[in-house]
Structure 1
Amino acid sequence: MNNLLLYIPWQPDEYLIRFGSAGIRWYGICWLVCFAVGFYLMQWLFKKHRYSDKQFEPMFLYVFLGALIGARLGHCIFYEPGEFFDSFQHFVEIFIPIKFLPGGGWKFVGFQGLASHGGVIGLLIGLYLYIKRSKMNTWVVLDFMGICSAISAAFIRIGNLMNSEIIGKVTDVPWAFIFYDVDTRPRHPGQLYEAIAYFCIFAFIFFIYRKNPKKVGTGLYFGLCLALIFTFRFFIEYIKIDQVDFENGMLFNMGQLLSIPFVALGVWSIMRSKGKEYTEK
């Protein structure tokens, strides 16, 4: 493990384009691609199932705001409550992309810290509000989201890879990455594992959907998405380092504990879909 030439060096510039000390980050671009791909795929599903543009158009705002707000609050509440709730200034940092400096003043840092579990919770809340407004069938909307979500999650993990965050444990596998922004030890590229897995999950769900489009509205695709993604997320945590100190010594870390309810909801959705087909009205 001392021969660093055996492994993949990783230290990309976090900015795709720089403007002085600021710029456009790879992470932000990956989030943009995530929403763009999800938007066009969802639009295609609405048209294929003969829903109008008027029914589709309000969804993006609910999904965008729900996922972003949920991901931010999820990180602050689940992983760093002591950091963000110990003072008024830190509490303000939850909602605006700046950091107050100890000696006074502030600097722009972007929103550093977004949790996928919080993003899913926020997404579901956003979908609930959208469904209430649009009068769409709940399970149709959830199945549409289940078909789209895995590929969006893959792009977010690519963003984590570009940021050299959510890294894996030390290993001697030949494809180990050396995240030089962290240390010089070869580690599992956990973000890459997740991105590849989520692309594969998307392909699997989309293949089943093309074979069984009448299962949209039964909960099958929503259930498959949750069960597959969060089962993988549960087990991938074993080769990732804990994100915060309080997870040290826990039987299951925070990512695993938060994944269990989503797996259960996914399995329940799959079970309820058995023997059902949805007839669009």
Structure 2
Amino acid sequence: MEPSSFFHWNGSPEIFKIGSLAVRWYGVLFALGFVIGYQIMDYIFKRENKPTKALENLVFYVIIGTIVGARLGHCFFYEPDYYLKNPLEILMVWHGGLASHGGAIGVLLALWLFARKNPKIKLLWLLDRIVIPTALAASFIRIGNFFNHEIIGKPTNLPWAIIFNIYRGGEIVGTTPPVHPSQLYEAIAYLLIFILLFILYKKRIWQNEGVPFGLFFVLVFVARFLIEFTKAPQAEFEKFL
């Protein structure tokens, strides 16, 4: 198929801009994941007669754990040499660069600290329930990646392949060939995982603690493993210029 026959995603990463301040789709969807996640956990806490004051503290722990973990994960997993030479850049989260696996580690540490400070809420009880909004938030974040024209897939001639813009310094410097929309594959996978976990929770299907948490990790691992075959390493962007 000719490149002209494929969908060219030309959407801007920015919703609007006031002076040098830009409001980006990624940031809005990231925040929306936390807002809806809070509503889901509020429903769970009330349903199971847990103190809502503890939930407010939990949100603080999760936000800090997510941002710090994701940022440090990106800096030291992907570009350690650069950030060791420019340590102040680590603090500049608004410049971009968050790693999902770093965020996962950060959240787990944050939940462990929260459970230690709140002994009435068991860590495993919390993990079994927080995976529900986590799956939904992960779906929103991958949609944000789609708006950012990042985490793209390998070239393909499949009918649903998409051509993305390549950005450097906020400017379009080229386009990709038709590639797999890997971000959307992941977004759909995480949304389905969220729906499944929420249904299981509503129907109280599981009896043993740890089952939802384990199921979440198995499903995410399988989804990531399969979708990884369609993903291009981020360095592949350079080949498209």
Q: Could you tell me the TM-score, scaled by structure 1's length? A: 0.77
Partner residue, 2:221: 230
1:166 maps to which residue? 151
Give, as a single letter, the amino acid of the residue that structure 2 aligns with 1:158. Answer: I
Match of 1:51 in 2: 50
- 1:112 is matched with 96
Picking from 112, 118, 128, the partner of 2:112 is: 128
Shift in Å, 1:214: 6.0
Taking the aligned partners of 1:76 and 1:192, their CA distance within structure 2 comes to 25
Match of 1:175 in 2: 160
In 1: Cα distance, 2:134 partner to 2:115 partner: 18
> One-letter code of the match for 1:179?
F
Which of 185, 189, 193 is the matching residue for 1:193? 185
| Residue type at the aligned position of 1:243 | Q
Counterpart for residue 14 of structure 2: 15
2:110 and 2:205 map into 1 onto residues whose CA distance is: 25
Q: Is the 8 A contact 1:70 1:123 kept in 2?
A: yes
Deviations 1:3-45 (A, max 9, x none): 2232111121111111134310111101111111111111111
Tell me the equivalent position of 1:92.
88
The whole-number CA distance in structure 1 between the counterparts of 2:4 and 2:175 is 15
Displacement of 1:213 in angstroms is 5.7
Task: Classify the secondary structure of the residue corresponding to 2:192.
Answer: helix
Q: Deviations 1:124-161 (Å, cap 9, x if unpaired)? A: 01101111111111111011112221111000000100
Match of 2:4 in 1: 5
Q: Distance in 2 between matches of 1:9 and 1:112?
A: 24
3-state DSSP of counterpart to 1:24: strand
Supply the distance in 1 between the matched residues of 2:230 and 2:206 (Cα, whole angstroms). Answer: 39
Check whether the contact 2:200–2:206 (CA below 8 A) recurs between aligned residues.
no
CA offsets, 1:201-238, max 9 Å, x none? 111111122222663x7011111111111221122111
CA contact (8 A) 1:14 1:163 kept: yes
| Cα distance in 2 for residues equivalent to 1:218 and 1:244 | 41
Match of 2:239 in 1: none
- Separation (CA, whole Å) in 2 of partners of 1:111 and 1:235: 30
Q: Is the CA contact (8 Å cut-off) linking 1:146 and 1:223 kept in structure 2?
A: no
Question: Normalized against structure 2, the TM-score is what?
Answer: 0.90
Gaps of 5+ in 2: 167-173, 237-241
1:142 maps to a residue whose letter is L
8 Å CA contact 2:142, 2:186 repeated in 1:
yes
Moved more, 21-30 or 154-163: 21-30
Q: Report Cα offsets for 1:105-124 as digits up to 9, x if no partner.
A: xxxxx141101000000000
Q: Distance in 1 between matches of 2:206 and 2:223?
A: 27
Match of 2:27 in 1: 28
Letter in 1 for 2:71: R
Kept in 1, the 8 Å contact 2:153–2:232? The answer is yes
For 1:211, the equivalent position in structure 2 comes to: 203
Q: Which runs of 4+ in 1 moved over 3 A?
A: none
| Match in the other structure for 1:137 | 122
